[in-house]
Structure 1
Amino acid sequence: MTSFKYYVGASIDGFIADRAGDALWLQPFSKLAGVREHFDEFFAGVGAIVIGGKTYENIARDVAEGKLEWVYGDKPVWVFTHHELPTVPGADLTFIRGEIGFWSRDIARSASVGDVWVVGGADLAGGFVEAGMLDELLLITVPVLLGGGANIFGRGVNMELDGLELKDLGGNVFASRYAIT
């Protein structure tokens, strides 16, 4: 059965983007062997991706400017947005608006036998929690203090976590996995 998983990197003070909304500060940590291996293992089980409009817009801009590579390959990417956004050449993109619960079946179906990666942003991930659609939080914690920015869920959410795993990825970076109960 397809699971919806929020795989995200955060500072030790709980922010996934800085005050300017930028997450490029995470880039140096993505090059660590343990982090790369952990991500590759996770991504191998992903069949579809869902991204919020602001996060997608930042990614598309950074890809166009050569700051990032499009890491999603040819997997279907669903973008929740209320705006017209640029496309990324060669990407399998579907732009949608509306309730998460309304689209969740179609998104899960597009993942085939894989899972759905809720990339973010934080507000979209919080919406998945509120809709009762998020199954797991996979949190990569890096040794940086941002002091402000976008927090992990972009809003206060009520949920209980069941710690499933804690793994040292090297360089004082840790991966933790939680079931959302």
Structure 2
Amino acid sequence: MAKLLYAFSCSIDGFIAGPGGDMSWLTPFLGPPPEGLLPRIGALLVGRRTYDGDDPHRGGPGEGQAFGGGWSGPQFVLTHRAAAPAPGVTFAGDLASAVSAAKAAAGDKYVNVLGADVARQCLEAGVLDEILALPVPVLLGDGVRMFHRPGGAPIGLEPLRPNWYRVLR
């Protein structure tokens, strides 16, 4: 059965994107993903802002492609707004159906969650299984936080290996 993984790069001060969702800050730090990660991803669960958002690969050969062209497969975009059809992309209006469809498509691989708000929703719904945090040596000072839930209770994590955690429920 597929597991949901929130894998992301973030500044040392906890931002995954700069102000307005700007991802250009990440471009100088792009490199290959952790060894063996991409073959273990069977589907993507993507927030609409992330799907429509800035691309750290802009201007390069992998622009507009998942992981800069290093991965291809089914994508499920959580949205409440109409969207133009795109090959390999399914638009879903609610979290439960998006998660269910993504897990079915991923088989026994990971569903990689992209987008801070979708990751937060998955945590609150109790469906996020693991987190892979890839810190980048920069301080942004402002932008989109990796996890933001004012007034929320702490969520326990169990270390699995460096920077990789199981979500405790």
Same-fold call, TM > 0.5?
Answer: yes
Structure 1 residue runs of 5 or longer lacking an equivalent are 167-175
Aligned residues: 160
Q: Letter of the aligned partner of 1:113 in structure 2?
A: D
Do residues 57 (structure 1) and 52 (structure 2) align? yes
> Are the aligned partners of 1:123 and 1:155 in contact in 2 as well (CA < 8 Å)?
no
Equivalent residue in structure 2 for 1:93, among 89, 92, 95: 89
Q: 1:48: Cα distance to partner? A: 0.5
> Are the aligned partners of 2:45 and 2:98 in contact in 1 as well (CA < 8 Å)?
no
Q: 1:127-180: per-residue Cα shift (whole Å, max 9, x none)?
A: 0000001011100001110111111124345411112222xxxxxxxxx11110
Q: State how 1:20-59 maps to structure 2 within 5 Å.
A: 20-31=20-31, 36-38=32-34, 41-58=36-53
Q: Letter of the aligned partner of 1:21 in structure 2?
A: G
Question: Structure 1 18/114 Cα, relative in aligned 2: closer, same or farther at 3 Å?
Answer: same
C-alpha distance in 2 between matches for 1:87 and 1:66 = 24
Q: Letter of the aligned partner of 1:111 in structure 2?
A: A
Equivalent residue in structure 2 for 1:79, among 57, 73, 77: 77
Q: Letter of the aligned partner of 1:143 in structure 2?
A: P
Do residues 13 (structure 1) and 13 (structure 2) align? yes
SS class of match (1:133): coil
> Are the aligned partners of 1:12 and 1:144 in contact in 2 as well (CA < 8 Å)?
yes
Q: Letter of the aligned partner of 2:120 in structure 1?
A: G
SS class of match (1:126): helix
SS class of match (1:178): strand
C-alpha distance in 2 between matches for 1:74 and 1:128 = 23
Structure 2 residue runs of 5 or longer lacking an equivalent are none
> Are the aligned partners of 2:79 and 2:93 in contact in 1 as well (CA < 8 Å)?
yes
The alignment yields a C-alpha RMSD, in angstroms, of 2.1
Equivalent residue in structure 1 for 2:161, among 165, 169, 178: 165
SS class of match (1:145): coil
Q: TM-score, normalised by structure 1?
A: 0.79
C-alpha distance in 2 between matches for 1:37 and 1:93 = 22
Q: TM-score, normalised by structure 2?
A: 0.85
C-alpha distance in 2 between matches for 1:162 and 1:149 = 27
Structure number having the greater strand percentage? 1
Q: Letter of the aligned partner of 2:132 in structure 1?
A: L
Q: Letter of the aligned partner of 1:179 in structure 2?
A: R
C-alpha distance in 1 between matches for 2:99 and 2:17 = 25
> Are the aligned partners of 1:101 and 1:133 in contact in 2 as well (CA < 8 Å)?
no
Q: 1:53: Cα distance to partner? A: 0.4
Q: Letter of the aligned partner of 1:109 in structure 2?
A: A
SS class of match (2:20): coil
SS class of match (1:20): helix
C-alpha distance in 2 between matches for 1:103 and 1:141 = 28
